[in-house]
Amino acid sequence: MKEVKNPKKPLIYYYCIVMAIVLLFNIFITPMLTHSQVVEVSYDTFMDMIDEENVGVVQVEDTEILFTDRDGAVVYKTAPMNDPTLTERLHDSGAEFMRVIEEPISPIWSFLLTFVLPILIFAALGRYMSKKLIEQAGGGKNSMAFGMGKSNVKVYVQSTKGIKFDDVAGEDEAKESLAEVVDYLHNPQKYSEVGASMPKGILLVGPPGTGKTMLAKAVAGEANVPFFSISGSEFVEMFVGMGASKVRDLFSQAKEKAPCIVFIDEIDAIGQKRSSGGGYGGNDEREQTLNQLLTEMDGFEENTGVIILAATNRPESLDHALTRPGRFDRRVPVELPDLAGREAILRVHARKIKTAQDVDFRTVARMAAGASGAELANIINEAALRAVRSGRTVVTQADLEESIEVVIAGYQKKNAILSTDEKLVVAYHEIGHALVAAKQTNSAPVQKITIIPRTSGALGYTMQVDTGDKYLLAKDELEDKIATYTGGRAAEEVVFGRITTGASNDIEQATKLARAMITRYGMSEDFDMVAMETVQNQYLGGDAALACSPATQQEIDRKVVELVKRQHEKAKSILVENREKLDKLARFLFEKETITGEEFMNILSGGENK
Ligand code: ADP
Ligand code: ZN
């Protein structure tokens, strides 16, 4: 499928063209039109020519004297002097007094050329540019005037290369529920015979980069129907009144092309809950757009063959009117991929690149825990780029592993200089995390530790790898996790007796987790199973809203501190007990900068059998 795009050129590009035209005009055209081949000579030469009786026609003006030679072939020009006898002498030499040069260009023409023409050029270009602007903003090709344009809903031209369900790896549940839509689009009679009707709208719900757009395209690809796509944010972009007319337009186009798929990305941009008081400005505009969308959705008959798919990562912020039966009444969750899903996505994208024989996608998938489909696609691409940079023709396992870190942690900062002291502190800090993790039986083993600074600002990090995806975490596992977070700072304290700013992210993570345990997971004795916080927005990291009295709030804060403190102490005692191994591991990491989980476990168990 090919998306038709308007070429976007920066405004400065058009300005440059106009400036060039104006300059050319002034430098070349204007002088050519007014005075053609006039030779400027000195007054002396003029005098000499009079004496030689070689002056043909002469025209004396206040600012210049124009004259020709006897043959009239060349026009000369000179500056006038205070010369009272000039006229007499000229007369004597037989020169004729008359206009030497016909004004080659009438005043009206010169006015037109120098003033009106440039203005016309400017106006034409201006019109052209503003049209471009409207198109870019969504006015569309046929826009007649501001606010009355056709929308720039993009129609994807079908081709055999269309995206199919096979291209979307993992997401089996989502595919299953969308397969019904495909079947319906293939033969709608089957459904109407029974009296069943397809939902008009289906909401794809999930975090960014999980393949929602891909799934929508795949439905169109599988059903072999046209695909219209527009983003919610485009509706509310520019001119007042445009959003609603765009919606109207979108639906009239879609109805013409039915059966078809209409895909609205980021529907939360228009579909947010309407304010009760009635807003001003942009808010008002958004509500008009939303109302139009609701009207259109109610307006068309069921079974017209127009299926609207919409994507959002904030389903709870949508206006209830949108999610009501008859509108977007079906929800398809599109979640982050699990281990098997990640492996499948890696394999799908690896089809496009050349990989070495020994590449192990399972290991890569394991290391990329928490990555979205888009990130995994990016990892494959980064690995391919890395292979090219090092002059190889195939992508190796090392390329893939390195690019995980690139995508997840930012590019390696090769030239960032850490002083030796700092590097040692970072080494101890990271080993602190790893050792605490490894010593608590419930913590995931360590995969890789590195103290090569990254552009993301992390000075080093410990990559823990879950052996499988975990959906349920026990209280003690969560506590161990907190202890692991505090392990870095604990190592600094135990070894150097002095603390640094390096633990700021750890502190944040530990606090978040401890807080959630108390307020949301019901893991403290005092509050039992009472929800102290409710999560508003779980797909964007979760903004928790407090649901308790200020007094309880204080109590919660105290509990959080207590919990973290207990785990911090635990981490410290683990490190003190294993001081010898801590030193050994930290030294080793300091030397090598990057150590693998295997090397780590070797050293750890090597010292075990005393
Ligand atoms: P969303 O719409 O959910 O934000 P997209 O559909 O735009 O995500 O996905 C972005 C890119 O990520 C896709 O073009 C594709 O390359 C990759 N991707 C995401 N999920 C998957 C998946 N399940 N299988 C294969 N590729 C995926
Ligand atoms: Zn840390």
The more confident residue out of 97 and 356 is 356
Is the distance from CB of 78 to CB of 45 less than 8 angstroms? Answer: yes
Token output for 259: 């059966």
Ligand number nearest CA of 334 is 1
| pLDDT tens-digit readout, 558-577 | 999 999 999 999 999 999 99
pLDDT at 310 > cutoff 70: yes
Q: Which CATH number applies to 41-105: 3.30.300.30, 3.30.420.40, 3.30.720.210, 3.20.20.220?
A: 3.30.720.210
Rounded to an integer, the average pLDDT of 315-338 is 84
Token output for 66: 């124009």
pLDDT at residue 381, rounded to an integer: 94
Q: What is the mean pLDDT of the chain?
A: 80
Instruction: Name the closest-CA residue to atom 25, ligand 1.
Output: 168
pLDDT at residue 586, rounded to an integer: 95
pLDDT at residue 378, rounded to an integer: 92
| pLDDT tens-digit readout, 461-476 | 777 665 556 678 889 8
Active-site entry in 430, 479, 492, 533: 430
Instruction: Name the closest-CA residue to atom 7, ligand 1.
Output: 213
The label of the residue with tokens 């009679």 reads 189
pLDDT at 490 > cutoff 90: yes
pLDDT at 290 > cutoff 90: no
- CATH fold, domain 339-409, is Helicase, Ruva Protein; domain 3 (1.10.8)
CB neighbour class for 124 (10 Å; exposed up to 12, middle 13-18, buried from 19): exposed
Residue 477: closest CA among 519, 510, 441: 441
Alpha-carbon distance of 130 to 119, in angstroms, equals: 16
Alpha-carbon distance of 106 to 546, in angstroms, equals: 82
pLDDT at residue 536, rounded to an integer: 61
| Top-confidence range, 102-116, 256-270, 395-409, 576-590 | 576-590
pLDDT at residue 3, rounded to an integer: 42
Q: Is 135 a catalytic residue?
A: no
What residues contact 183, with CB distance under 8 A and at least 6 apart? Answer: 190
Alpha-carbon distance of 350 to 205, in angstroms, equals: 27
Q: DSSP letters of 503-552? A: GHHHHHHHHHHHHHHHHTS--STTTTT--SEEES-GGGT--EEE-S-HHH
**Ligand 1: residues whose CB is within 6 Å?**
168-171, 208-214, 311, 345, 348, 373-374, 377
DSSP one-letter code for 327:
S
- The CA angle 271-273-278, to the nearest 5 degrees, is 110
Query: How far does the centroid of ligand 1 lie from the alpha carbon of residue 163, in Å?
Result: 11
The label of the residue with tokens 């907190």 reads 482
Burial track 317-350 (b if 16+ CB lie within 10 A, e otherwise): ebbebbbeeebbebebebbbbebebbbbbbebbb
Q: How many percent of the chain have pLDDT more than 90?
A: 23
Rounded to an integer, the average pLDDT of 156-178 is 77
Type of residue numbered 289: T
Type of residue numbered 546: L
pLDDT at residue 149, rounded to an integer: 45
Token output for 418: 């850490």
Query: How far does the centroid of ligand 2 lie from the alpha carbon of residue 502, in Å?
Result: 6
Rounded to an integer, the average pLDDT of 165-189 is 88
pLDDT at residue 479, rounded to an integer: 93
The label of the residue with tokens 């005098």 reads 47
- CATH fold, domain 147-333, is Rossmann fold (3.40.50)
pLDDT at 7 > cutoff 70: no
Q: DSSP letters of 331-354? A: EEE-PPP-HHHHHHHHHHHHTTS-
- The CA angle 330-342-517, to the nearest 5 degrees, is 75
pLDDT at residue 576, rounded to an integer: 96
Residue 487's pLDDT band (cuts 50, 70, 90): very high
pLDDT at 337 > cutoff 60: yes
- CATH fold, domain 420-604, is Methane Monooxygenase Hydroxylase; Chain G, domain 1 (1.20.58)
Query: How far does the centroid of ligand 1 lie from the alpha carbon of residue 23, in Å?
Result: 50
pLDDT at 140 > cutoff 50: no
Q: Which atom of ligand 1 is nearest to the CA of 334?
A: 3
What is the rounded radius of gyration, in angstroms, for the C-alpha atoms of the chain? 38
Alpha-carbon distance of 548 to 450, in angstroms, equals: 42
Domain ranges of the chain: 41-105, 147-333, 339-409, 420-604
| pLDDT tens-digit readout, 538-549 | 554 555 667 778
pLDDT at residue 151, rounded to an integer: 52
| pLDDT tens-digit readout, 573-593 | 999 999 999 999 999 998 888
The label of the residue with tokens 């290991």 reads 363
